[in-house]
Amino acid sequence: MTSQHEHHESPVEDSEITSWKTKLLWSWIFTIPIAVLMLLERFFDILVIQPPFNSIFILAVGFPVVFIFGWDTIKSGVRGLFTFYFNMDSLIALGTVIAYLTGIFAFFGVVLDYSGVAAMIMAFFTTGKYVEAKARGRASQEIRKLLELGAKKARVLRGNKEIEVEISDVKVGDTMIIKPGEKIPTDGIVVKGESAVDESMVTGESIPSDKKVKSLVIGATINQDGVLYVKATKIGSDTFLAHIIELVESAQSTKVPIQKLADKITGVFVPVILVIAVLTFLNWWIFTGDLSRSLGVGIAVLVIACPCALGLATPTALMVGSGMGAKRGILIRKGEAIQTMKEVKIVVFDKTGTITKGKPEVRDIYSKVGEKYLLEIAASLEKLSEHPLSKAVVAKAGLKKYREVKGFKILRGRGLEGNIGNKKITIGNTRLMEEKKISLNEFKAMIKKFEEKGFTAIVVAENEKAIGVIGIADAVKEDSVSAIKELNRGGFKSVMITGDNEVTARAIASQVGIDEVIANVLPEDKARKVEELQKEGMVAFVGDGINDAPALKQSNVGIAMGTGTDIAIEAGDIVLAKGSLVGVVQAINLSKATFRKIKQNLFWAFAYNVVAIPLAIAGVLHPVIAEIAMALSSVTVVTNANLLRRKKI
């Protein structure tokens, strides 16, 4: 078993940057003398070295620049030409080699000597590549940090001894000891100790989370003030952090639809430019008869064309955007989502666990037979169900011993039934009672009162006769109100969807400021309701990713809420690591900002090529100027992507 950390290397490796740096330094050491000679000759008519030795000097000094420091580029470019998989290097290789050869042909008086230009093109090319690689490295800095976040070592108990081991040697079931200020090595459950843990690096949640026995902790988070004994439950690629990394990484190779045109163009760009360059050269030669000038123009066309700016426009912005998101616990899974987001008009929230905390509690009980008895029989049935409402009843009853239940049945979305002794017990919502024709007459007023407070009213019936009502409420998350206010201000229509009845649902919705409510929806019908809403406009669905998977899929943008230490990988286009609705607002803002950046970048990349190539064809640009423009264009795009960070999310 290898640890997750050995699986990921940095997106842009330092070795790539260093390698360009070395090439750049050496290229310029050799190119500067050439440039000085050329400038003196061209602008001041000063010949430092007399012909033909000046040409020999330039050929000799230029050789290593083009063929040694530029060898990787030449090799890759030439291979591209022969295999018909043309790339950027093919253009540079052709441009520099042709320019260099003119220096040799110049001896025979065929053409003027352009060999100095070859060295200068290569020197500027490596400079551009170096700056670009650095900027790309910067674009990936957040993702890089994420990759390096994992702990390297762990202190575990083996026998009775505390030993320090490599993270890859930690096994599920090991007890790890984490002192204050230390990183929690891997996901686990606290078995001893109490402490606050800073989880901001993984979930974006800035308030430290209190941990005690049985609390779940996430690997790579930082223990603050107490000593924790944690039993490892997940290791390697199963951990929360590994899932986040996997998600962010694979998102980088998803496509944003707007990029399609750029991709198509990049695919045919180089061969098209090759043809244009040849035609330009022939055209100039035929019409001017000036071979040297025609070659110069042809070379300028070759080196000015830049598929890189087009190709980098989207991925760099996406990378900066998803890095910024990851830092805040917003994980963009699909590039497409950021484009779709700007069309979204309606945001649908699932109620339980999304707007509310998802931990319902019994708030009030109204009984005809005594509270204790009511809770005892209710809890005995509810014990057998996993439903959150059931858990609330069981918690409230706090029984040590449960009654024996026979013939237990879950009536999905409605309630439960079963027999205790010779009594038939039915527990559920009013809909179930109506179905079973159980009269609610004496309870109607109470039920209404509960519902108006936003409680879910659960009726308990014995032998088809109602004996009590339990009012259960799920508290609204503190920041739901401000998040929804923000969305409403942003012009979104917010809708709450829930299985609760209309009155309860409305009470909760009004607490958080949502106008539209779709109540009484069975879990399996949520997707269909989303589909209906889609007739009005694009829909984003916010839900918990486990129960709401179909609705998340059906919506145009599915936003899955993480639940503490688990993360829904498969559902949702965007996943929120922390369960706060503020994340939804942030995700929307981030998507919009990232998409705007992509559009800007694509605009500049297209505009650059549309303006620059015709200028080169017209012969207005010197090949060296053309190369400088080319290098600047891709650097501009990557730098612009990095500027996305200035945006407040």
Partner 1 sequence: MICKEVKMKKVKLTIEGMHCASCASNIERSLKKVSGVKEASVSLMMKKGNVECDDSVSDDDLKKAVARVGYKVARVE
Which stretch, 29-37, 205-213, 310-318, 352-360, contacts partner 1 (CB under 8 A)? 310-318
- The reply to whether 492 sits near partner 1 by the rule CB under 8 A is no
Minimum gap (Å) between residue 621 Cβ and partner 1 = 21
511 contacts 614 by C-beta, under 8 angstroms: no
* Contact status: 9 vs partner 1 (CB under 8 A): yes
**Helix axis angle, 115-139 relative to 88-105, nearest 10°?**
160
Q: Measuring CA to CA, which residue among 331, 307, 308 is closest to residue 321? A: 331
Residue 148 CB, shortest distance to partner 1, in Å, is: 15
Q: Alpha carbon 357 to chain centroid distance?
A: 25
- Could you say whether residue 139 binds partner 1 (CB under 8 A)? yes
**Applying CB under 8 A, which of residues 168, 175, 224, 254 lies at the interface with partner 1?**
254
Of 58, 302, 310, 540, the residue at the interface with partner 1 (CB under 8 A) is 310
CB burial of 127-144 (b: ≥16 within 10 Å; e: otherwise) equals: bbbbbbbbbbbbbbbbbb
Rounded to whole angstroms, how far apart are CA atoms 146 and 329? 11
The minimum distance between CB 87 and partner 1, in angstroms, equals: 4
Residues 374-403 that bind partner 1 (CB under 8 A): none
Report how far residue 130's alpha carbon sits from residue 314's, in angstroms, rounded to the nearest whole number.
20
Instruction: Choose, by CB under 8 A, the member of 116, 150, 188, 307 that binds partner 1.
Output: 307
Strand bridging mode 557-561 / 574-576: parallel
- Contact between 140 and partner 1 by CB under 8 A: the answer reads yes
* Span of 49-57, 168-176, 247-255, 471-479 interacting with partner 1 by CB under 8 A: 247-255
Choice from 173, 267, 407, 421 touching partner 1 (CB under 8 A):
267
Residue entry with tokens 């879910």: 456
The region of 29-37, 128-136, 484-492, 612-620 touching partner 1 under the rule CB under 8 A is 128-136
Beta-carbon contacts of 442 under 8 Å, excluding residues fewer than 6 positions away, are: 368, 466
Stretches 104-112, 315-323, 429-437, 617-625: which one binds partner 1 (CB under 8 A)?
A: 315-323
CA distance linking residue 184 with residue 229, whole number of Å? 10
Name the nearest CA neighbour of 186 among 237, 118, 129.
237
- 16 binds partner 1, rule: CB under 8 A: yes
In angstroms, how far is the first alpha carbon of the chain from the final one?
39
Query: Can 544 be counted among the known catalytic residues?
Result: no
The H or E element that residue 624 is part of is helix 623-642
Q: Are 560 and 574 in contact (CB under 8 A)?
A: yes
Closest distance to partner 1 from the beta carbon of 504 (Å): 44
**Residue among 14, 238, 263, 570 that touches partner 1 (CB under 8 A):** 263
- DSSP state letter for 358: S
Beginning with the edge strand found earlier in the chain, give each strand of the sheet holding 405-411 in spatial order. 361-367, 465-473, 456-462, 423-428, 415-420, 405-411
* Closest separation in Å from C-beta 147 to partner 1: 10
The verdict on 430 binding partner 1 (CB under 8 A) reads no
Type of residue found at 574: I
Q: Are 466 and 438 in contact (CB under 8 A)?
A: yes
Of the two residues 7 and 387, which places its CB atom closer to partner 1 in the complex? 7
- Cβ atoms within 10 Å, residue 437: 7
Q: Which is nearer to partner 1, 249 or 479 (CB)?
A: 249
**Is residue 410 classed exposed, middle or buried when 0-12, 13-18 and 19+ CB atoms within 10 A define those classes?**
middle
Structure tokens at 377: 């029989």
State the nearest-atom distance from the C-beta of 114 to partner 1, in Å.
Answer: 24
CA distance 214 to 230: 9
Q: Which residue, 7 or 599, is less far from partner 1 as judged by CB?
A: 7
Q: How many residues bind partner 1 (CB under 8 A)?
A: 38
Q: What is the closest distance, in whole angstroms, from the C-beta atom of residue 75 to partner 1 in the complex?
A: 8
> Which residue do the tokens 């994340």 mark?
583
From the CB of 603, what's the least distance to partner 1, in Å? Answer: 16
311 binds partner 1 (CB under 8 A): yes
What's at 342, amino acid-wise? K
What is the rounded distance in angstroms from the CA atom of residue 616 to the CA atom of residue 296?
A: 10
- Residue 159, exposed/middle/buried by CB under 10 A (0-12, 13-18, 19+)? exposed
Q: By rule CB under 8 A, what string of x and - marks binding of each residue 31-70 to partner 1?
A: ----------------------------------------
One residue of 2, 160, 253, 422 binding partner 1 per CB under 8 A? 253
Q: Using CB under 8 A, pick the residue from 315, 321, 418, 579 that binds partner 1.
A: 315
Nearest to 229 by CA among 154, 165, 150, 151: 154
Tell me the window of 259-267, 503-511, 552-560, 567-575 that interacts with partner 1 (CB under 8 A): 259-267
Q: Whole-number minimum distance, CB 138 to partner 1, in Å?
A: 12
Q: Which residue in the set 168, 252, 482, 547 belongs to the binding site for partner 1 (CB under 8 A)? A: 252
* Site mask for partner 1 (CB under 8 A), range 70-89, x = bound: ------x--xx--x-xxxxx
Q: Can you spell out the DSSP letters for 130-180?
A: HHHHHHHHHHTHHHHHHHT-S-SEEEEEETTEEEEEEGGG--TTPEEEE-T
- Does residue 639 bind partner 1 (CB under 8 A)? no
Binds partner 1 by CB under 8 A, chosen from 167, 230, 312, 375: 312
- Catalytic residue among 174, 187, 350, 548, which? 350
640 binds partner 1 (CB under 8 A): no
The stretch near partner 1 (CB under 8 A) out of 93-101, 311-319, 350-358, 582-590 is 311-319
Cβ at position 80, least distance to partner 1 in Å? 7
- Shortest distance, position 247 Cβ to partner 1, whole Å: 13
Active site residues: 350
Residues forming contacts to partner 1 in the complex (CB under 8 A) are 7, 9, 11-12, 16, 76, 79-80, 83, 85-89, 129, 133, 136, 139-140, 249-250, 252-255, 263, 266-267, 269-270, 307-308, 310-312, 315-316, 319
